[in-house]
């Protein structure tokens, strides 16, 4: 390696020493190392290292989580990642450090606008926060921009009925027991929690009625 501007050599040496001190103190991050390598590459007339894209980081994080979680949890995480990356659009393939708190806030509001309940929207937001917090710990970003985005409160939660198409999709993915609960919710107006808590003695076949 040859630094073309020799006047910069003492500054580069000082950078090495500074990183060594941070390493000894347990404060060295991947971002520190990447910044130094990028400076050296530029000083020798080469291109900087490519930044991790939002898509690459989220999908790597997801791959790790789905192997250590229950299948249903992994499926939920995968759906959140796909929706978030779809929300970013072409920017999902740009550096992760370019994701902003406004992006995360807009994603939260987009989740709510689809009719998801407040708890589900906030769980999506918590997962995005956890991904970006891991990125901060690894030094891929300087700060977790999702920390600036608050949870959805009751005033912003908008509920709507499922469409026929959405109900069909739910039934296609559900087990037989859950299909029964979904049918009760659709045709009898049950909450799913009430439908799953029903007992046989609550059914009156002679009157065609259910008490709960």
CA 203 to chain CA mean position, Å: 42
User: How many Å apart are CA 98 and CA 53, to the nearest integer?
Assistant: 9
User: How many Å apart are CA 193 and CA 178, to the nearest integer?
Assistant: 11
| Cβ–Cβ under 8 Å, residues 120 and 164 | no
100: which 2 tokens? 């902003």
User: How many Å apart are CA 146 and CA 168, to the nearest integer?
Assistant: 34
Of 114, 50, 51, 117, give the one whose Cα is nearest residue 87. Answer: 114
Q: Which residues contact 122 (CB under 8 A, 6 or more apart)?
A: 151, 152
Q: What is the pLDDT along the chain (212 residues), one digit of tens a residue?
A: 444 555 566 776 777 788 788 778 877 665 666 677 767 766 777 666 557 899 999 999 999 887 777 777 788 889 999 999 999 999 999 999 889 999 999 999 999 988 888 888 999 999 999 999 999 888 788 889 999 999 988 644 455 677 888 888 888 888 888 888 888 888 887 777 777 777 888 888 888 777 76
């Amino acid at each position: 390696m040859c630094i073309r501007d020799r006047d910069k050599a003492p500054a580069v040496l000082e950078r090495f020493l500074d990183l060594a001190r941070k390493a000894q103190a347990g404060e060295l991050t991947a971002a520190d190392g990447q910044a130094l390598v990028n400076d050296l590459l530029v000083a020798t007339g080469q291109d900087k290292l490519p930044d991790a894209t939002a898509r690459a980081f989220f999908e790597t994080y997801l791959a790790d989580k789905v192997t250590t979680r229950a299948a249903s949890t992994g499926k939920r995480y995968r759906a959140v990642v796909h929706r978030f990356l779809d929300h970013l659009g072409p920017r999902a393939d740009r550096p992760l450090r370019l994701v902003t708190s406004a992006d995360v806030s807009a994603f939260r509001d987009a989740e709510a606008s689809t009719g998801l309940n407040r708890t589900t929207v906030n769980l999506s937001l918590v997962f995005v926060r956890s991904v970006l917090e891991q990125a901060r710990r690894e030094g891929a970003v300087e700060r977790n921009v999702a920390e600036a985005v608050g949870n959805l409160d009751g005033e912003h939660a908008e509920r709507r009925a499922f469409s026929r198409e959405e109900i069909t999709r739910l039934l296609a993915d559900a087990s037989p027991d859950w299909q029964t609960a979904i049918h009760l919710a659709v045709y009898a107006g049950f909450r799913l929690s009430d439908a799953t808590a029903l007992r046989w003695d609550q059914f009156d076949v002679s009157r065609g009625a259910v008490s709960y």
